[in-house]
Amino acid sequence: MIKLLILGPTGIMGKLISELALKDEEIEVVAACDVNNIGEELGGLLAVKDRNKIKISDVNYLQKVIDETKPDVAVDFTVAKATEKNCKICVENRIKCVIGTTAMTQDFLDEVEKLVTTKKAPAVISPNMAPGVNILFKMASILTKYLNDWDIEVIEVHHHRKIDSPSGTALKIGQILSDTLGSEFEEIAKFGRNKGPNKRLIGAKNEIGIHSIRAGDIIGDHIILYAGPGERIELKHQAHSRSCFATGAIKAIKFIVQAKENKIYTTNEVLGL
Ligand SMILES: NC(=O)c1ccc[n+]([C@@H]2O[C@H](COP(=O)([O-])OP(=O)(O)OC[C@H]3O[C@@H](n4cnc5c(N)ncnc54)[C@H](O)[C@@H]3O)[C@@H](O)[C@H]2O)c1
């Protein structure tokens, strides 16, 4: 049985992951920490049977919770600031982390990369755990090799509650495109185009446009537009339910307990792509 700590179980993603985890025969939820609903029963909150009758603990006492419940894996879909603090505590305690939170700082990512090696506690960090999106990443890297002289633009569409823009997934797509092109992403990325003269630099090696749309309750669309002389190709992924991310997180939890190398894994590796 995998002993699981859930960080942020009251959030939209946290609830979905908690529900799948509580129903999974290979997983035992041993703790759940949040800033909200402290003291409430997790199973009651989700209307799901929980044989351990786990109560939501105050995340400010995370170290005490870890000492008492000794989890093997922590899953975190919360907010960047919280993840940066809590997942560091988890890795320091040699707990393997599955991190889905987006918009963490590069400093944190660099620090956690070193920490997983020294503490021998591998982690999965992935801005998008949906299997289909990760197949899109793979297709984009292949297509970009053939279309490297075309213009490439990335368009992402999300619900109006989303805090960060562009999405972590759009940034990851931009990184994959520029790695394939042999360009520096930060040098060629053009984040939106404002009113006024704004001519595009021709060719993806010179410029990749990244555009964010926020509207209603759209779960998440990513389009990669390849446009050449007289023709175009679009790669498009649309999430119509958040269950694809939660399923991906559960796969990552089962993967990370068996991971051999003390490093940060991506969903590509979880899925063997
Ligand atoms: N990687 C993926 O596949 C994927 C998919 C969807 C969303 N996300 C990301 O996951 C994150 C959460 O998304 P959401 O839609 O569930 O958000 P949400 O606002 O519904 O949930 C956030 C949760 O974090 C909790 N929280 C806040 N501070 C905390 C702290 N200090 N300690 C513990 N918990 C704390 C909140 O109480 C809440 O339960 C975002 O960063 C989002 O971009 C990633």
Of 38, 45, 77, which is best to mutate to test ligand 1, by the most ligand atoms within 8 angstroms of its C-beta? Answer: 77
7 ligand 1 Cβ < 6 A = yes
pLDDT in tens, 109-126: 999 999 999 999 999 999
Q: Is the pTM of this model over 0.85?
A: yes
Which part of the chain is CATH 3.30.360.10?
131-239
Give dist(CA 77, CA 117) in Å, integer: 22
183 ligand 1 Cβ < 6 A = no
Domain 2-125+243-271 architecture: 3-Layer(aba) Sandwich (3.40)
Give pLDDT, residue 58: 98
User: Are the CB atoms for 195 and 155 separated by under 8 Å?
Assistant: no
Catalytic residue among 162, 190, 251, 254: 162
pLDDT in tens, 233-263: 999 999 999 999 999 999 999 999 999 999 9
Report which ligand 1 atom has the smallest distance to the Cα of 10.
39
What secondary structure letter does DSSP report for 262?
S
Give dist(CA 107, CA 85) in Å, integer: 12
pLDDT in tens, 199-223: 999 999 999 999 999 999 999 999 9
14 ligand 1 Cβ < 6 A = yes
pLDDT in tens, 10-44: 999 999 999 999 999 999 999 999 999 999 999 99
pLDDT in tens, 130-176: 999 999 999 999 999 999 999 999 999 999 999 999 999 999 999 99
Give pLDDT, residue 36: 97
Q: What percent of the chain shows pLDDT beyond 90?
A: 97
Of 40, 79, 159, 253, which is best to mutate to test ligand 1, by the most ligand atoms within 8 angstroms of its C-beta? Answer: 79
| Cβ burial, residue 237 (10 Å; 0-12/13-18/19+) | buried
Give pLDDT, residue 46: 95
Give dist(CA 25, CA 227) in Å, integer: 47
Phi, psi of 76 (to 5 degrees): -135, 110
Angle between helices 106-118 and 80-92 (to 10 degrees): 10
Which protein residue has the closest C-alpha to ligand 1 atom 30?
Answer: 82
Which part of the chain is CATH 3.40.50.720?
2-125+243-271
Q: How confident is the model at residue 190 (pLDDT cuts 50, 70, 90)?
A: very high
What secondary structure letter does DSSP report for 200?
P
Cis peptide bond upstream of 131, omega within 30: no
Is-catalytic flag, 162?
yes
Mean pLDDT for the stretch of residues 77-85: 98
Give pLDDT, residue 154: 98
Taking the domain 131-239, which CATH number applies? 3.30.360.10
Give pLDDT, residue 77: 98
Mean pLDDT for the stretch of residues 74-81: 98
Is-catalytic flag, 138?
no
Q: How confident is the model at residue 129 (pLDDT cuts 50, 70, 90)?
A: very high
169 ligand 1 Cβ < 6 A = no
User: Are the CB atoms for 83 and 104 separated by under 8 Å?
Assistant: yes
Give pLDDT, residue 244: 95
Q: How confident is the model at residue 267 (pLDDT cuts 50, 70, 90)?
A: very high
User: Are the CB atoms for 218 and 229 separated by under 8 Å?
Assistant: no
